[in-house]
Every structure is written in C-alpha cells, then in structure tokens.
Amino acid sequence: MNYFVTGATGFIGRFLVARLLKREGARVFALVRPGSEYKLDAMRRRLCVEESRLVPITGDLTKKLLGVSKRDQDDLVGQIDHFFHLAAIYDLSADENTQRYINIEGTRQTLKLAEKVNAKAFHHVSSVAAAGLYEGTFSEDMFEEAGELNDPYLLTKHESEALVRQESRIPWRIYRPSLVVGHSQTGEMDKIDGPYYFFKLIQKLKDFLPNWIPLIGVESGHFNIVPVDFVADALDHIAHQEEGNGQCFHLTADRSYNLGEVMDIIASAAQAPRMPVRIDQRMFDAVPGFVRRGVSAMTPRLLINQAMENLDIPPSLIKFLTFPTEYDNRRAAAALEGSGIEVPELESYVQQLWDFWENHLDPDRDEREDELQPLPSLPERAEDKIVMITGATSGIGKASALKLARAGATVLVVARTPEKLEETLHEIKQVGGNARAYRCDVSNLEAVDELVEQVLADYGRVDILVNNAGHSIRRSVVHSFQRFHDFERTMQLNYFGSLRLIMRLMPGMIERGFGHVINISSIGVLTNAPRFSAYVASKAALDSFTRCAASEMAHLGIHFTTINMPLVRTPMIAPTKLYNHVPTISPNQAADMICDAIVRRPKRIATSLGIMGQVMHFLTPKVTETIMNTGYKIFSDSAAAMGGKEKTPKKISREQAAFSRLFKGIHW
C-alpha cells in the first residue's frame, strides 16, 4: 500500500505517518520543502524505518502541482493508493492573503497533483472551522449551512473544503478534527495553540495567588478538544474502510467544554487556583448596552492588547472565546465502532499536556526560577517508613494501608476488631506489603499509651502518623439537649484520642528530626455544616491544635497536614441512609489524598468547594448562613437521630438532589 502525504512532518502528519508505516508493506511518499529533508531523516530514525519506506518528494505548497518535478510525477503515476492532504497554515496572526494562498490555492494544486498521478483516493484533513460561527449543532452532512466566516482561517478552511467537494475527480473523504492538543500519553505538542493560549495566564495566577483561593469562571463558548493520537488513529482507521467515499467525518469529542470548565481543568493540573463557580455569559448580555459601551470606552484598547501580549495571547483569539458551535459526530463514531479508538476525557490527560508545555513550550521556561523541583514519587517517600494508621480496617484507612504497603512502607494497622485486623493483614500480604496489626480503641487513652509502648518496643519509631479513626454523629442541636454524651464521645475519640497519639509519638519524632502527622478532618470544619455540631467541633479542636503545634515545630523537621475530607462512601456514613442518594467520593479517592499528603507534605488538603465555604463564611457570613440554613431545612434529621429505625429512602426530592449536587461533598 502506497501513500502520498502533504504535511507529513507537521504535528498531525508525524503521528499519521507513523501509523501508516505500521501497515504491512506500507510505503509513504512525503512532500517536503527544499532544505527540510532533515525533518524526514529525524522521522526515519525515530520510527526505525529505511529510506525506501519513507521517501521524500521535494516540493512546495505554493507552487503549481506543488512544485513536484516531472520525473517524480511520472514515477508516482498509478502508484498512490491513498493521497492525504494535511498541509495548511493555522496562525491567528497570519494575514488573509497568506492564508488564502496556502490553504485554498495549496488545496487546488494538491487536488491537481493527486489527479495527475491517478491516486485512487483523496483524503482531505479539514477542520471544524469550516462550519464557521454556526449557532447550534453542526452535523457531518452540513456544509453550505456554515455560519459567519468573517475570519481568514474560518473562511479559507471552508473554501478549501469546497474545492474538494466541487472539483475532485477522484473519490474523496473529508475529516474535520476539532481543537487538537498534545498526545494523551506523553503530552507532546509542537506549538502554542487553542487551549494552550490559556496556559500562561494560569501559570501567572499560580505564581501570584495561593491555590486554595477559589476563582470565578465564565460559562462561555464551546471548546471541543481532542488529543493528536486520537486524530491520527481515527484518520488511519476510517481511511482504510471500504465505505465512506464522498462523506465527511467529525473527529470530535462527544462533549464540549465551556471556557470556565477548560480553565478549571487546566488549573487543576497546574495546581493553580480553581474556578469551581462559573457565571453564565448570558448574565453579561443582560447588562444594558450603554453600560457595556461605557465600560469599553473607559478601557483603552492599547491596555487590553498589552495585557494579552504579556500573556502570549493573540488579540484575534477574543472572537473565539464565545464560539457557538457544537458538533454531531455520529458517522465517525459508527466508523470507529469496535476499533477501540475513542476520545479520552480531557481531565484524564491534562496533566501530561501541562507538564509538556511547562518543560518544552513555555516561552519563559529558561528564565523562570526553578524553585519547584520534581516531586518524589510515593514509593520514594514511603519506602522504609513506619506508618501508623488508625481506623485501618475499613473505608479510608484500609484503602490507605493497601496503597502505602504497595509503595514499600511498613504499615501499622490499628483498629478495635481482631477479625477485621487479620483480614486487612491478609489483604496487605496478598499485594506483597509489610504490615503489623495492633488492637486498640483510640478513645481509651490508657489503651493508646499501651499501644505506643508496644509499637516503640517493636519498631523503635513511627515516622508517619495518620489519625484516621473517627466517629460522626448527625443530629440537630435541638435534638441533642438531652444527649450531652454525643459531644463527649466525639471529643474523646476524634480529639483526645488523636491528641494522645501525637503527644506520645512526638518526642521520638523531634529526637530524630523528622515526623509527619496527617489528621483526617472534615469539610464540615470549613463549611460549618448543620446537624454535625458534635462531630465538627471535635475535628475543629484537632485542627486548631495542629495549627498551633505546626507553628512551634516547623524548625524541628516536623510536618503537619490536615485533610478536610468531603463526604466519603464509608461505613461511618452508612447509618444515614439518605447518603445512598447523594454524591460522595470513594475510599480509594480519599486514600489518594492521604498519599498526596505524604508526597507533598502540604499544610492542608481540601476541595475547592470546602475552601470557598470557609472564605464565604469570612466575607459574607450572613449570606452563607442563609445558604446553610436553607440546606438544613431541605434535609431532615434521620429516624436514627430521633431514636427510631432508619430505612433507606427509595429516592430523594428534586430539591435535595439539586442541593447535594450543587454542594457536592458537604454533609447535610
């Protein structure tokens, strides 16, 4: 099978050529400009293919018949099974004449060359930009219906596609990728484009603001994003199917993101301030026109352009921030069915994109102070460490024990029930971990003293203490007047038990010059969750002690981390059957937060919603109190809290479902 590829050394082209050459007997003829043959040499070395399989054809997209010599034309006649046209210009700063000449005239000459050499099939890689600024969903069968084409790139992509449809004398297929980003596994990218224009802004936010400050994003525009490896895989697969001539295929993701979502996802990878709250763009549209014009008049265009230049954002990008088009990709999905080729969620590979940009594409990478050295891995942090975890036989504690044992730590699992301790030990041994079980009721301070004495006799130290054991009570204050013991029980376990362990283990940590205490707290401490006064008060006490102790011991090599956990699906919340119907995180996700604490050793780990709740209580206490009171009234005390038998509700009300989704992870 022989292929001719324009744009073979370009970003998508490199990945497509690699896939074509994996086919048995495949040979690729690649158009290269004079002086660019070295790029093809580099591709051969990378792909480990001989010159006879990746053949350079010298030419130029701006020349007649692409400037291909008569001799090469004659040699190629009847040889080309598939002709791929990927070469084009995409530069928001390029002038209209340049884009017209390369994108439109280049496509016309490419078609003529394909016909001259009697290619059997012509594959034109267009773009969703051919749809223009279409309002609504643009299908694969639509073309003439394109929206506004008042930008050179939109116009030239539309007109070059029109040439293929109207003038091609050989069977053709058109492919419209959406915004193409780096490789989903490696992050590899060749230029700053599309979502990458936001990276510098997010980096500056990261530099100037702590990442716990929640920011407000805008729900504006539609950004359909796909990684380059998906596009190359899809092109290769669809091009070789028997059916599909004369058709267009949208190489797009099943869902688009708005501007605020894209910024928030990138910020999560950059560890920059997140944007958990987003304002609908239509709110700005409701502002009277004379107000918008007045604000615009007071904002000199020079200042706007200067700000965008400092952020490496071309001013022409502004018009695309409210991009109105969604894309129907049913034909492409049907063609890819059963192939295993699908678009991954942006969240699953954004970290690779960010890391590659910071290391290879950031224009300031050589000037930025490298104060953030690469973080160690979990095994590097945990190997040979003695880690004590309380409440280690279920939920968060058990999941954490398994992860840390796999990472090479010696895990001391502490719990009350002998049978569960043995079961946990068995599971740890199954994964090749090293652990030892200790039976202890952490609410019994004398038992805690005995536990510490035995552990120090067995191992001589504890390097990392995870205070995970806890007891939660969900009951309104008005139903607790005769239940003072609720407050005593929670304080005894959640505060005094944890504090006793810290106080007994701390002298050894100070003597060795290292120790890490991780306290599992609650999002309720940040949001002041109603119905949890006993539980939240006990956790808040431990949080306050931790902040004081950390200030005293910072110079002694002692680290303290507080994790304000959101609602986790554990046995502790099982008595409240209502929680079967509200969003929670899994014990494994919670354990990942503990592992992250061990790797990074931050002062606090919390969700953006939790931090925002704390900030709102400080800035707008009355408004926040009203919101929390509304949640309190929407939900009710459980039958168990009232002394009855709890039953699992078949469903929850719309108001309860909406509130629990809006305030995901908060206890109600």
Spell out the residues 6+ positions from residue 439 whose beta carbon is closer than 8 angstroms to its own: 414, 415, 416, 417, 418, 421
DSSP string, 594-651: HHHHHHH--SEEE-HHHHHHHHHHHH-HHHHHHHHHHHHHHS---TTTTTS-----S-
- Confirm if 451 and 477 have CB atoms less than 8 A apart: no
- Confirm if 322 and 221 have CB atoms less than 8 A apart: yes
How far is the CA of 197 from the CAs of 139, 210, 348, in angstroms? 27, 22, 20
Residue recorded with tokens 């206490």: 621
Measured from the Cβ of residue 324, the count of other Cβ atoms closer than 10 Å reads: 16
Of 112, 378, 332, nearest in space to 230 by CA: 332
Tokens of 35: 């002086």
Of 272, 338, 322, 334, nearest in space to 140 by CA: 334
User: Phi then psi for 58, rounded to 5 degrees?
Assistant: -70, 130
Measured from the Cβ of residue 37, the count of other Cβ atoms closer than 10 Å reads: 14
How far is the CA of 519 from the CAs of 480, 495, 522, in angstroms? 27, 10, 10
Amino acid at 364: D
Measured from the Cβ of residue 629, the count of other Cβ atoms closer than 10 Å reads: 11
User: Phi then psi for 254, rounded to 5 degrees?
Assistant: -70, -20
- Confirm if 439 and 415 have CB atoms less than 8 A apart: yes
Residue 505 DSSP class: H
Spell out the residues 6+ positions from residue 447 whose beta carbon is closer than 8 angstroms to its own: 440, 441
Quote the CA–CA distance of 416 and 207 in Å, as a whole number: 46
Of 327, 217, 231, nearest in space to 265 by CA: 217
Active site residue 134: no
- Confirm if 80 and 68 have CB atoms less than 8 A apart: no
Strand order in the sheet with 410-415: 434-439, 410-415, 386-390, 464-467, 515-522, 558-565, 604-606
Q: How many residues does the chain have?
A: 668
Quote the CA–CA distance of 264 and 260 in Å, as a whole number: 6
User: Phi then psi for 535, rounded to 5 degrees?
Assistant: -65, -50
Q: What is the largest CA-CA distance in the chain?
A: 98
DSSP string, 268-308: HHHTPPP--EEEETHHHHTS-HHHHHHHHHTS-HHHHHHHH
∠ CA 273-377-275, rounded to 5°: 10
Task: Return the sign of the alpha-carbon dihedral for residues 532, 535, 537, 539.
Answer: negative
Give the 3-state secondary structure of residue 592.
Answer: helix
First to last CA, the chain: 64
Tokens of 291: 């107000």
| Options 38, 535, 579, 632, the catalytic residue | 535
Query: Which residues have a catalytic role annotated?
Result: 535
